[in-house]
Structure 1
């Protein structure tokens, strides 16, 4: 009797979370010690356990000269991309405290961050979708092998993996959002040309 041992077909589960190094791009260093974060208002007036003003920054990664990062955040419900400036632990900070890389502008920093994000997102999503497709292929092959066996011949059980394309992760990149923004700007420009706005001034009303 031909006996075939069952091969475990395991679904990869949910896509792994995006790692910080995949979404964060180093864009410079902090020009000053970052303000102390805390629940007090304003942050610089946060008091210590002795109720004394304690405005000094003690965390090395939030001090002047430490790495400053930028990451894009895609707005799935609206057009566009927003950007967050943060330190290595992903805590946000004000962009005015960033000393950009030599020769960089804020615009280049954002462009570099988008390219870095897209490159890593392609790998993350594609690897996950490939793992699902491989899982489906193995389950289908196992089902055919089980179906070809004579009744009671081996005890192999077919996989319960269900093929559903909804399980595949949608790949959305910064470059996709940029194309959406180009269309939005084009349409807005056409509408503005057809219905120009008038800028109000103290002296007169002039076309925008």
Structure 2
């Protein structure tokens, strides 16, 4: 049995993989949100191209950041239509030089599969369809947790259960206090309470 621990003071430095393993245990893969809570890396149509707004993506404890608009141009098919995905690709084994936001081509009937094994991990920001006439449609996929999702803490289910339990206990205590005679109460009503004791609150 092997036990590892961190982080500790000492002469030995920690690798990128160690930090990534730490953060992977804390956060789900996905794109970041801005100060208003909106997902970043939004993909929009711009004539015969698509543009990707600035933002960041997090995968397997590693992150990729774009601080400017990225313009990508899908190739028109000879006939019919072609489906692409705008992806954020992270090479978790490299130095970051292979990390990119790019177009990935699928087929006329289906978007491309995403690589989520080995050293490469891909998130889909949007699905882009282009016809032989050059018409483009964009379907946002950032909030789709199957192919992307938002950066968020793991184990939210446990936290939700805890908060619901605390709320239930408060509601029970409040209801019990409100049913007792001769104690200070909180009145939420339009008219002044007639049986309030000193110290009660009328809202």
Higher strand share: 2
Same fold (TM over 0.5): no
TM-score, normalised with respect to structure 1: 0.26
Q: Which has the higher contact order (CA 8 A, sep 6+)?
A: 1
Larger radius of gyration: 1
